[in-house]
Chains A and B, each alone.
Chain A
Amino acid sequence: DAGITQSPRYKITETGRQVTLMCHQTWSHSYMFWYRQDLGHGLRLIYYSAAADITDKGEVPDGYVVSRSKTENFPLTLESATRSQTSVYFCASRAGLAGYYEQYFGPGTRLTVT
């Protein structure tokens, strides 16, 4: 199906484990983003990517790693998960960075770190 998808939708992992959240978009959008959403904080940007092999830090990048070898995929890896990374993670994509380009969000991944 066309659009932006995330997998898994739900994940429970243990402290110290590595976990990768997947994001895939079918529009060939240049820009992709990862946000986390926590109660009381709204949406906070973790990392974003302007194109394949180009990534940049957002507001809260510590503890996360991203890669973008293909335009359509933007995986987010927690190298050693901590309880503070329990959150809902949203991926988004956008055709360009000019203000008039709409940003489309995926359905989210709810991650619990025990």
Chain B
Amino acid sequence: GESVGLHLPTLSVQEGDNSIINCAYSNSASDYFIWYKQESGKGPQFIIDIRSNMDKRQGQRVTVLLNKTVKHLSLQIAATQPGDSAVYFCADPSGGSYIPTFGRGTSLIVHP
């Protein structure tokens, strides 16, 4: 089975709301995670990463939370905007080769 997976295939929110996208992983040894954003017709783009020695990391309007106990991470987007509409992937590049393994992605739809 895949090593990372997102809980929901689609998340619909209203503009201005906060969005939370969840991801579970199975490898207890994973020590680094990346969130990517993929807009329609484009390749994935790095958003934010987090290492296992951290519980939380903040970027511009985005926060990633890591719960190693239950092997779960989440991406929180504050004040969601229409431009945030995209598919979001969590990736685990912690394998021996550091090549990311991608989950299926969650499609975030922002309604104006």
Chain A interfacial positions (CB closer than 8 Å to B): 33, 40-45, 48, 58, 90, 92, 97-100, 102-108
Contacts and interface: CB of A to CB of B under 8 A. Distances in A.
B112 interface: no
A103 B41 contact: no
User: Which 10 A-B pairs rank lowest in CB-CB distance, beginning with the nearest?
Assistant: A105-B43, A43-B102, A42-B104, A99-B32, A42-B102, A97-B98, A105-B44, A90-B43, A102-B46, A99-B98
B89 A42 contact: yes
A59 B50 CA distance: 25
A99 B43 contact: no
A99 B93 CA distance: 7
Given A92-B43, A97-B99, A103-B100, 18 more contacts: A42-B89, A42-B105, A43-B102, A44-B102, A45-B99, A58-B99, A98-B98, A99-B32, A99-B93, A99-B94, A99-B98, A103-B46, A105-B43, A105-B44, A105-B45, A107-B42, A108-B42, A108-B43
Contact of B103 (A42, A90, A98, A104): A42
Interface residues of B, number: 22
Interface of A, helix, strand, loop or mixed by DSSP: loop
Nearest to A58: B99
Nearest to B51: A99
Contact of A43 (B31, B44, B94, B98): B44
